[in-house]
A and B are shown apart, each in its own frame.
Chain A
Amino acid sequence: MRRKLTPYLLALPGWAWLAMFFVVPIAGMVSLSLTSGNVITGFYQTFNVGNYLDAITLYSEQLVRSLLYGLGATLICIVIGYPAAYWIAFHGGKHKSTYLLLILLPFFVSFVLRTISWKFTLSDNGVVLGTLKSIGLLPADFAVLNTAPAVVLGLAYNFLPFMVLPIYAVLERMDHRVVEAAHDLYASKLQAFLRVVLPISLPGVFAGGLMTFIPTTADYVNASVLGGPGNTMIGSIVQTQYLVNNDYPIAAAITFVLMGVLLIGIFSYARALGTERVMEVQAK
């Protein structure tokens, strides 16, 4: 009897942690998202589903924009991160850990600071644009800041390591002889990559995709620092509603709408990639 209980007892601290810091706050937030009132009179539980209707109707533009920005940043991360991970795994030689450290190095500086430094770098008359303008390569009114590309690139920059590391992990663990086997079986270099390396590394791309798409979509720092009024992301709305307007119910409702949309997106993404199959390969 005792032996049967042991695993559950061992899991108990974990469950307690989850209950206290995940289940309880989420339940509290769900409850909060259904209340009415304001910060002065207090909030009363009225099961006010209207908060959700407001969240969707008032902020659908920012919601869609967030998803698009997140998607764009994720795609850029794949395009930049995959070759980087591939190169380190296959050609990194003795210095693999050095290259990985270089990938992680920006993390030693605060996320907000890094984003602000981008603002300086990309400012209209800063080091980069100012120089290019002075030598006449760019028109004087050219701007990067306060545009959608600035936000998307900032997101991609900040979350790139989350894409590189999972892809690297899969490529590194892969038996590199399979590439030789593919060549031996008449595959060209491109075919060997497309038919063997890429499919085997898909679980890494899948994991990296999740780890970049979710935080980039919910991010508000990049939009606030690098974007303008036209680039507001849903995270900024939540932040404003909470901390500026103190409209907790609507902020909570927006949060859950975003969560719901992300979950639907993740499940259809997993379906499309055939995650079960993908996971099976990874398990091996």
Chain B
Amino acid sequence: MTATTEAPATTVAEPSTAAVPAISLTGVTKTFQSSRESFTAVGGLDLDIESGEFFSLLGPSGCGKTTTMRMIAGFEEPTTGVVRLDGTDVTDVAPNHRDVNMVFQSYALFPHLSVADNVAFGLKRKRVGKAETDRRVAEMLELVELGGQAKRKPSQLSGGQRQRVALARALVNQPRALLLDEPLAALDLKLRQAMQMELKRIQRDVGITFVYVTHDQGEALTMSDRIAVMNEGYVEQLGTPAEIYEHPATRFVAEFIGTSNLLTGTAAATTSDGTDVRLDCGQHVLVAERLSEGTQVDITVRPEKIQLSTEPPDASLSRVRGTVADTVYLGSSTHYTVRLDDDTEIVVFQQNDRDLSAADAVAGRGSDVWLSWRLSHSYLLPS
């Protein structure tokens, strides 16, 4: 299956009752021509992005997600197809005449301008009055918590602060849609997670359509209302994060999203470290997040974060018991499939940095093992 699997029936079939999508791509393709070869970045795209939604284009590098975004922004012209903003055909409209703004991966801040002047750039080009420009810039800097940094230069800011300037510079124009091209890729993990929440909060506050390009499934799952999983220029699956995660429509989606293990459970009690979660299999694990009792949670853990051992691991870790169902030896690592009491399978990637015979003894098929991971290595999917 290659083309869009879920054509949103509401928009095309019943135009009279459905709201006009904020962004609509119809039959869009993009082929890059050079003298010697041609490369099809986008093979055929039909997408409707609803007004006010947080929409992610998710896929590996080279899947066409960035090209798609650049066609929405106007930096690339589609080879075929139509791009509409609010129902208006903008396929041939230059970027400076499109009511969308972009947050660049490298931020692309203007190094010679202060933070405030960076943010005011778009408003000045639109000839918004000085008083209103000043007011909106100040408001926006407050929103992204950079109120005290207005006079500084981008070079004097940290990575996270630059990221927020880029966000403010785009959002202050109150565009029809905000396009974000892997905006968190340059940040370290902790900052990235904080910014994910921040972005979601800001998106709720301003109510603007966000189109978010990322290769990080966790990021897309955490923030998006809907996700289009892209591969080799086509949308493989379009749906909410839960739909995509739990019901992958294609093998590609299953593999691309499936690098995480999913554990479902219920918050049983809060502890000093976080929350004790009772898994569906009856075992208990710790999560760092504080949850109110009875909350249903989906815990995901990346296979490479899990430690496998025969001895009970430290109680401060999240840990479960299971039985090794399968092992795949891959040289530098071994992939284990561990089955819990309720037949939940957990995939574990273990580096073979120990003596092989010892590892083999730990990991023999059918042996009972402990799986453990640090609290910071698991995170909750929004349910």
Residues of the B chain whose Cβ atoms lie less than 8 Å from the Cβ of A182 = 110, 121
Residues of the A chain whose Cβ atoms lie less than 8 Å from the Cβ of B75 = 180, 183-184
A175 touching B108, Cβ below 8 Å: yes
Q: Which residue of B lies closest to A180 (CB)?
A: B75
B126 touching A186, Cβ below 8 Å: yes
Q: Is B155 among interface residues, defined by CB-CB distance under 8 A?
A: yes
Among candidates B102, B106, B153, residue contacting A184 with C-beta atoms closer than 8 Å = B102
Residues of the A chain whose Cβ atoms lie less than 8 Å from the Cβ of B100 = 184
B96 touching A184, Cβ below 8 Å: yes
Residues of the B chain whose Cβ atoms lie less than 8 Å from the Cβ of A191 = 125
B94 touching A185, Cβ below 8 Å: no
How far is B104's CA from A202's CA once the two chains are assembled, in angstroms?
24
The 0/1 profile, CB within 8 Å of A marked 1, for residues 106-117 of chain B is 101111100000
B96 touching A280, Cβ below 8 Å: no
Q: Is B339 among interface residues, defined by CB-CB distance under 8 A?
A: no
Q: Is A3 among interface residues, defined by CB-CB distance under 8 A?
A: no
B108 touching A186, Cβ below 8 Å: no
Of the listed residues B74, B94, B106, B111, the one surrounded by the most CB atoms of chain A closer than 10 A to its CB is: B111
B186 to chain A, nearest CB (A): 13
B173 touching A185, Cβ below 8 Å: yes
B104 touching A186, Cβ below 8 Å: no
The 0/1 profile, CB within 8 Å of B marked 1, for residues 152-192 of chain A is 00000000000000000000000101101111111110010
B122 touching A281, Cβ below 8 Å: no
Q: Is A92 among interface residues, defined by CB-CB distance under 8 A?
A: no
Interface residues of A in 35-80 (CB under 8 A from B): none
A181 touching B104, Cβ below 8 Å: yes
A183 touching B95, Cβ below 8 Å: yes
How far is B154's CA from A244's CA once the two chains are assembled, in angstroms?
58
How far is B117's CA from A277's CA once the two chains are assembled, in angstroms?
15
Among candidates B74, B155, B173, residue contacting A280 with C-beta atoms closer than 8 Å = B155
Q: Is A200 among interface residues, defined by CB-CB distance under 8 A?
A: yes
The 0/1 profile, CB within 8 Å of A marked 1, for residues 87-110 of chain B is 000000011110011101010111
Residues of the A chain whose Cβ atoms lie less than 8 Å from the Cβ of B73 = 184
B108 touching A188, Cβ below 8 Å: no
Q: Is B169 among interface residues, defined by CB-CB distance under 8 A?
A: yes
Among candidates A180, A195, A280, residue contacting B104 with C-beta atoms closer than 8 Å = A180
Q: Is A196 among interface residues, defined by CB-CB distance under 8 A?
A: yes
Among candidates A175, A180, A186, A280, residue contacting B125 with C-beta atoms closer than 8 Å = A186
The tally of residues in B whose CB lies under 8 Å from a CB in A reads 27
Among candidates A175, A185, A188, residue contacting B122 with C-beta atoms closer than 8 Å = A185
A187 touching B125, Cβ below 8 Å: yes
How far is B154's CA from A202's CA once the two chains are assembled, in angstroms?
18
A181 touching B102, Cβ below 8 Å: yes
B75 to chain A, nearest CB (A): 6
Q: Is A2 among interface residues, defined by CB-CB distance under 8 A?
A: no
A185 touching B125, Cβ below 8 Å: yes
Residues of the A chain whose Cβ atoms lie less than 8 Å from the Cβ of B126 = 186
Of the listed residues B101, B125, B173, the one surrounded by the most CB atoms of chain A closer than 10 A to its CB is: B125
B108 touching A187, Cβ below 8 Å: no
A280 touching B153, Cβ below 8 Å: yes
Residues of the B chain whose Cβ atoms lie less than 8 Å from the Cβ of A185 = 96, 101, 121-122, 125, 169-170, 173
A181 touching B108, Cβ below 8 Å: yes
A196 touching B96, Cβ below 8 Å: no
Residues of the B chain whose Cβ atoms lie less than 8 Å from the Cβ of A283 = 155
B72 to chain A, nearest CB (A): 11
How far is B170's CA from A202's CA once the two chains are assembled, in angstroms?
26
Q: Is A199 among interface residues, defined by CB-CB distance under 8 A?
A: yes
How far is B96's CA from A187's CA once the two chains are assembled, in angstroms?
6
Among candidates A175, A186, A281, residue contacting B106 with C-beta atoms closer than 8 Å = A175
How far is B70's CA from A180's CA once the two chains are assembled, in angstroms?
10
Q: Which residue of A lies closest to B179 (CB)?
A: A184
A55 to chain B, nearest CB (A): 41
Among candidates B112, B122, B153, residue contacting A186 with C-beta atoms closer than 8 Å = B122
How far is B106's CA from A283's CA once the two chains are assembled, in angstroms?
18
B112 touching A184, Cβ below 8 Å: no
Q: Is A271 among interface residues, defined by CB-CB distance under 8 A?
A: no
Q: Which residue of A lies closest to B105 (CB)?
A: A177
Q: Which residue of A lies closest to B104 (CB)?
A: A177
Interface residues of A in 191-249 (CB under 8 A from B): 191, 195-196, 199-200, 202
How far is B74's CA from A187's CA once the two chains are assembled, in angstroms?
13
B354 to chain A, nearest CB (A): 43
B173 touching A183, Cβ below 8 Å: no
Q: Is A91 among interface residues, defined by CB-CB distance under 8 A?
A: no
A183 touching B153, Cβ below 8 Å: no
A178 touching B122, Cβ below 8 Å: no
Known: A186-B125, A187-B96. A181 touches B110 (CB 8 A): yes
Q: 11 A-B contacts, Cβ less than 8 Å apart? A: A177-B108, A180-B102, A183-B74, A184-B75, A184-B100, A186-B125, A186-B126, A187-B96, A280-B155, A281-B155, A284-B154
Interface residues of A (CB under 8 A from B): 175, 177-178, 180-188, 191, 195-196, 199-200, 202, 277, 280-281, 283-284
Interface residues of B (CB under 8 A from A): 73-75, 94-97, 100-102, 104, 106, 108-112, 121-122, 125-126, 153-155, 169-170, 173
* 3 nearest CB pairs, A to B: A185-B122, A177-B108, A186-B125
6 new A-B pairs (CB below 8 Å) besides A181-B108, A196-B110? A175-B108, A177-B106, A181-B169, A186-B125, A200-B110, A281-B112
